[in-house]
Each structure stands twice: as C-alpha cells, then as structure tokens.
Amino acid sequence: MMTPTRPADSGPAGAGDLDRYSYAESTGAARTTNAPAWDGGDPDMGRVGRRAAGSRGRGLHGQLVQQLGQMIVSGDLGADRPLVPEEIGQRFEVSRTVVRESLRVLEAKGLVSARPNVGTRVRPVSDWNLLDPDIIEWRAFGPQREDQRRELSELRLTIEPLAARLAAGDVSEEVRQRLGDMVDIMTHALGQGDALTFSRADAEFHGLLLQAAGNRMLEHLSGIVAAALQVSGGAASGCEQPTEASVAVHQRIVDAVASGEPGAAETAMRQLLMASPEAAAPAAAPAPAPAPGGADHVVPAPREH
C-alpha cells in the first residue's frame, strides 16, 4: 500500500496544517464510460464500455488488464470462455505483446489459464485470487458486490481486533504519531465534509495497525483492508462513517495502543467494526443511504501492473 509521506522537516499536523496534507488533495477521478468497446458479433464482449475504469497512468497494458478483468469478474466473459489473443488485439487495437502481457497478469490473479493446444480460457470463481486488490475493486462493480462486502467485513472483524491487540504490545513512537495524525486528519475532514479525505486517512489508519502488529501475514493483508475501505456503498460498518462517534473510537484505539493496553485496543477495534451506520451516526444527522445501482463509491488510486 502506498503511503503518502509528509516532508521530513514538518512536525505533527496541526489544525492549520491539514489542508496541506497529501490526503486533502484528491487524486481520484470519476470512472469513464468511453473506453473502446468490442464491436464484434458477440454481445457480451460489446459491453466492456459500461464498466471500463479510468485509465489514469495505466498505459495500454494496464487499460487492457482493467477492461478484461472487469468483464471476467462481472460475468460478461463466463467461465471456460476462450480468449483469442488475435481477436483481443484486433478489437482493442493493441499489439500482440500488450495482449500477451495483459493475459499473464490476469493468469497470475487466477482469472484465466493458458494451456498448450487449448489456449487461454476464463477460470471459475473458485480459482480466483479473491484477496487481490484489483479483483476486490472489480467485484465492487459487479453482481457479487454485496457478497464481497459481507466477506470483507467478516475478514476484517477476524483480523483487525487481533492486529490492534498485538500493536498495543510493542509499537514505535513513529507509528503512534502516525496513527494520531490519521485521527487528526479524519477530524478535520469531518468538519469540512470531505468524505474522500476521511476515507483515505481511515484506510491508512487500519493499514498502519496491521503493519504494526509484528505479524508478517497480517501485514500482507493491509493492502486488502485498504482496498475494502476504498470501495463503499451498500451496508457499511461504523468505521466507514464520517461521524464524531467513529472518530472518537479511532482515538480510543490510538490511546490504548500508546498506553500499552492490548485488551482495550482489541475491544475498541471490535466495537468500531461492528457499529452499524445508524448506531455510529448522530441522531440529528443520519448517514445517507447509498445511491441506487451502487454509484456511491470512492474510486481507488490506480495501480500499475
């Protein structure tokens, strides 16, 4: 997970400094629908333009990975569907090299398989690497959206309270300061009504705790948690709600970690993850319902392949 850093000569963030912090600068952009579409006779392949994500900084190779990946995850390209490199190259107007490298990336994610004398075919869902951040993002805009959210919530509830407990046992001053900075940023973003900045600071907060747990397997999951936090809509936990109650529980976690209280840190994290939007939001300002069709989301920053 890429972590924006503050210049080395700056001190702890104050209320007047937060606007200059990197999280306040939105790098996201709305998803576009003007990507090349497959105009051949296959109606399934002709639907790629509906879901193609923005190609910011990806290049031809990254764009093709994104488009094919979304088509597979959404079901537009069903299991055991053959993918002919020549046809892909012609319809997307890219070279054989771009197609070949893109299919290799998708194969590494478990989405396709390439076999001699058989060719490249779409693999069933049971073979996918469902913990891959790209697949998490793609599933967020497909028919498996709600299943994915439930599965991610269950995973987080299993690992993050443990991470908070372990981090409270032995965490560096630098990490404690960074956690406090994230709470400051969330507080400021809440006051400004900046949900995007709140979401990014929240994602880093939870990633930091996983990395600070001293368990490399938990640390490996930090990118998964970040991807989960950056895809919203549908039923959400209190952790994802920009409310004073949510910020207060984050602060309790920081205090417990800083004072070396593993039990308190674990309990606070569990409370945070189990809080419903209705319970977390103040009575006078209930959290708005997500937009129909899943349009209410935060677009993650692009990843290079």
On average, the pLDDT of the chain sits at 74
Q: From CA 64, how far away is CA 68, in angstroms rounded?
A: 6
pLDDT band at 181 (very low <50, low <70, confident <90, very high): very high
What is the C-alpha separation between 220 and 212, in angstroms, rounded?
11
With a pLDDT cut of 90, the percent of the chain lying above it is: 42
**Which H helix or E strand runs over 122?**
strand 119-122
- 206 CB neighbour count, 10 Å cutoff: 26
pLDDT digits (tens, 9 = 90+) for 8-49: 333 334 433 433 334 444 333 333 333 333 444 444 443 333
- Is pLDDT above 60 for 6? no
pLDDT for position 164: 96
Looking at residue 23, its pLDDT comes to 40
Residue-wise pLDDT for 44-87, tens only, equals 443 333 333 333 346 888 899 999 999 999 888 888 778 999 99
Cα–Cα nearest to 112, from 91, 103, 87, 77: 103
Do residues 211 and 222 make contact, with C-beta atoms less than 8 angstroms apart? yes
pLDDT at residue 58 in the model: 64
Over residues 113-125, mean pLDDT: 90
Query: How many CB atoms lie under 10 A from the CB of residue 292?
Result: 7
The CATH number of 133-286 is: 1.20.120.530
Distance CA 186, CA 204 (A): 11
54 alpha-carbon distance from chain centroid: 15
* The pLDDT value given to residue 87: 92
Architecture of the 45-127 domain: Orthogonal Bundle (1.10)
Among candidates 83, 117, 116, 82, which has minimal Cα distance to 100? 83
| Residues comprising the chain, all counted | 305
For residue 126, how many C-alpha atoms fall within 13 Å in the half-sphere facing its CB?
A: 1
Domains 45-127 and 133-286 share a fold: no
What is the average per-residue pLDDT within 222-236? 62
Coil, strand, or helix at residue 274?
Answer: helix
For the entire predicted model, the pTM comes to 0.64
Using the structure block, give the residue that is written with the tokens 């003007």: 34
Q: What are the residue boundaries of the structural domains of the chain, listed by start?
A: 45-127, 133-286
In Å, what is the CA distance from 266 to each residue of 126, 155, 197, 216, 219? 32, 15, 25, 19, 17
